[in-house]
Copies of this chain bind each other. A is one copy, B any other.
Amino acid sequence: MARTTIHDIARELNTSSSTVSKALNDHPSISAATKELIKAAAQNLNYRQNRLASSLRSGRTNIIGILIPSSEIGFFGGVVHGIEKIARSNGYNILLFQSSDTGEYEVEGVETLLQTSVDGIIASIAKDTPTLDHFFDVKKRKVPLILFDRVKDELNSPSVVVDDYKGAFMATEHLIQQGYTNIAHISGPQHIKIFNDRLCGYVDALKMNNLPVNDDLIQYGRNSIESGRFSAERLLGRNKDMDAIFAVEDFTALGALQYLKQNGIKMPEKIGMIGFGNESFSPYVTPSLSTIDQQPARMGEEAFNLFLEAMAKKTAGNNGSAVEEVEEEPKKIVLEPVLIVRESSVKNG
């Protein structure tokens, strides 16, 4: 009835539990014949390793903790998918925690992950985290910490983000190449870095292509569909010759798109449109929405790879050599944004 242990196997074969343990772990000092014997017996007795005991003894769990705002959000679901897939193929499992963008839950999550002795933590930081103490705690414990998307430079951790500036630049330049010349931008709150980055990308793309930057063509919204609708109205009101909009997020673009459609303005003929984020609805609106993809699954993979590197470094550091503990510059991966061209931005479909 009770679970089979290595002792049961040892008894069965008149050998010792340490031999069984070694055989099962393919230790080189055990003969091939013994290994075969032991593995067969294990199979017969329906043995299954107790990972708790193994981890307690060895000090590693092969579990990595993931901390995200919510798996309900498409982007994070995609990242988790990416991490889980590559983690599994490397013998790691995923312990998932959602912060709901709350600092309180985030602290609790980090606490639990540390208690569980996860081998590392991959996190995207909650919006309203008042302090970063809990993350410094992780570093203090020498548990590898990798950040993605919502990163904080103060933590001095390896990270992976998408190049927002470049994505915005690509989006804007794409519109220019399609023949649009009076291109507006609906931005977001400027204290959030990514929105400012995207604004800069927009501005630089115009400059680089010798187009004037017109303040009237820039509208600061609040990142909602409603705000997109409103912003489109305002932009159109003061710019009779506006012929394209680059919106800071697909949701904003969607609102603008709805407004233009309601007012009988043809897209992409009269006004071109491109968003940012490649939301799941974007291919299916009318006209289908051109956008910038942030490669969520890829981001997850890269984050896991950074974790593996950190682990390797940690192991190497433990070899007892008396090298000075120099905190080196952490690796920061910047993913290429991907331009997705659909109907809303192609004048001559």
Residues in chain A within 8 A of chain B (CB atoms): 3, 48-53, 55-56, 61, 63, 70-74, 76-78, 80-81, 84-85, 88, 93-98, 100, 105, 108, 111-112, 114-117, 141, 254, 261, 279-286, 297
Contact = CB atoms under 8 A, between A and B. Distances in A.
A124 to B, nearest CB: 14
B97 A95 contact: no
A96 B115 contact: no
Contact of A280 (B52, B280, B297): B280
A209 B79 CA distance: 47
B80 A96 contact: yes
How many copies are assembled? 2
Contact of A95 (B76, B85, B93, B100): B93
A84 B71 contact: yes
A114 B77 contact: no
Contact of A281 (B63, B108, B112, B284): B284
Nearest to A251: B284
Given A94-B96, A95-B93, A52 B48 contact: no
Contacts of A70: 81
A114 B52 CA distance: 11
A182 B137 CA distance: 65
A78 B112 CA distance: 22
Contacts of A95: 63, 93-96
21 contacts: A48-B114, A51-B116, A52-B61, A63-B95, A70-B81, A71-B71, A71-B78, A72-B78, A72-B81, A74-B280, A81-B98, A88-B97, A88-B105, A93-B95, A93-B97, A93-B112, A94-B96, A95-B95, A254-B284, A280-B280, A281-B282
Contact of A74 (B74, B96, B285, B297): B74
Nearest to A53: B56
Given A70-B81, A80-B96, 19 more contacts: A48-B114, A50-B115, A51-B117, A52-B56, A52-B61, A53-B56, A71-B80, A72-B77, A72-B297, A84-B97, A85-B100, A88-B97, A93-B96, A93-B97, A94-B96, A95-B95, A281-B281, A281-B284, A284-B285
